[in-house]
Amino acid sequence: MRLLSPSHWTTYQLIDSGNFEKLERFGAYILARPEPQALWDKSLTDSAWEQQAHAVFRKEKGSSERGEWLRKPGMPERWTSEYQHGVLNLSYKLALSSFKHVGLFPEQAANWDYLAQHLPSFPDRPKVLNLFAYTGVASLAARACGADVTHVDAVKQVISWSRENMELSGLDNIRWVVDDALKFVKREVRRGNQYQCLILDPPAYGRGPDGEKWVLEEHLNELLKACRELLDPDRHVFILNLYSLGFSALIVENLIKGIFGAIANPEFGELYLADGFGKKLPLGVFYRFAKL
């Protein structure tokens, strides 16, 4: 089991974490927002956080997620940044949402690099399916590697955001699908389609465009069984990422082994980001493997 963290960020930095918050730099701007896994004390003082942060997220009373951003003068609601490493030259829009998110999960850069390591090795252009694809930076990474990419998310506004990111990155021809991920995968299986790369980043809870209910513990096993039918058995790349409090990497290992059988050289464990004082902030579990 591995602890994995991105190693090529220049435009992102986790400055400090603690007291259920994190202080982060996204490009030119520093944000302070809630982080339920940061149980320890901050290393910097509250006054240092207040001095550095261009925007601070404050939750609404009685809400676990929704809130508002308190912005200093000059802090925009939207801005752009980039990720550059090897063949990846990606640009994307960031925005201050009412649910504390900004349109990017920085720990996922470790998986973007994994795509860049393996997808260019395919003899033919690989077909990539990105499920629960959010604002699409993983889709951009796959497209930058020359893949044919299908990007699936249940929220139409997020698909529009992803399209903006594609255009900002100078890329094209990503297939956009607004659909429930499980329904889409089952439909693709019935059609006899296969993909050489599957990327899954399902939430703990969610809703499809027609109100379909997604509960990670109830539906993940079913989804993975359908994904087994979609994945090219001869050559493939598979990435599963889960951010759910208390969800163990051992659970994921058992699921994958039971569904996919013996896998050569799998990688699984926890994703994390280290702050400027060496504290490791856990940000989900992952399981990935490749056969080329």
Comparing 145 with 64, which gets the higher pLDDT?
145
Q: Which of 119, 79, 106 is nearest to 281 (CA)?
A: 106
Tally the domains of the chain: 2
Q: Which of 206, 229, 86, 195 is nearest to 134 (CA)?
A: 206
**129 shares its domain with 223:** yes
- pLDDT, tens digit (0-9, with 9 covering 90-100), for 159-184: 999 999 999 999 999 999 999 999 99
- pLDDT, tens digit (0-9, with 9 covering 90-100), for 232-252: 999 999 999 998 767 899 999
**65 shares its domain with 17:** yes
Sequence-distant (6+) residues with CB within 8 A of 98 are 66, 67, 68
Last residue of a domain, one of 71, 94, 126: 71
Query: What distance in Å separates the CA atoms of residue 30 and residue 152, rounded to the nearest whole number?
Result: 30
> Mean pLDDT of all residues in the chain?
96
Give the global pTM: 0.96
**84 shares its domain with 67:** no
pLDDT of residue 65: 79
Task: Kindly report which listed range (196-200, 208-212, 225-229, 255-259) carries the lowest average pLDDT score.
Answer: 208-212
State mean pLDDT over 147-162.
97
pLDDT of residue 200: 98
3-state secondary structure of 87: coil
User: Nearest 10 degrees: CA dihedral of 258, 128, 10, 27?
Assistant: -110
State mean pLDDT over 146-154.
97
Asked if pLDDT for residue 1 goes beyond 70, the answer is yes
Asked if pLDDT for residue 268 goes beyond 80, the answer is yes
**42 shares its domain with 116:** no
**60 shares its domain with 116:** no
DSSP for 107-129? GGHHHHHHHHHHGGG-SSPPEEE
pLDDT of residue 27: 97
Query: What distance in Å separates the CA atoms of residue 184 and residue 154, rounded to the nearest whole number?
Result: 10
**119 shares its domain with 247:** yes
**119 token code pair:** 């997808």
What is the extent of the structural domain holding 214?
Answer: 78-291
Residue 235 sits at the vertex; the CA angle it makes with 254 and 108, to the nearest 5 degrees, is 60
pLDDT of residue 12: 98
**136 shares its domain with 239:** yes
pLDDT of residue 226: 98
Q: Is 186 exposed, middle or buried (0-12, 13-18, 19+ CB in 10 A)?
A: middle
**63 shares its domain with 88:** no
By the 8 A CB rule, do 25 and 54 touch?
no
Last residue of a domain, one of 17, 37, 71: 71
Residue 139 sits in a domain whose CATH number is 3.40.50.150
pLDDT of residue 245: 67
pLDDT of residue 230: 98
**56 shares its domain with 123:** no
**13 shares its domain with 92:** no
**175 shares its domain with 207:** yes
- pLDDT, tens digit (0-9, with 9 covering 90-100), for 203-239: 988 999 999 999 999 999 999 999 999 999 999 999 9
Last residue of a domain, one of 36, 51, 71: 71
pLDDT of residue 246: 72
**123 shares its domain with 189:** yes
Residue 14 sits in a domain whose CATH number is 2.60.40.1180
Query: What distance in Å separates the CA atoms of residue 112 and residue 199, rounded to the nearest whole number?
Result: 10
What percent of the chain has pLDDT above 70? 100
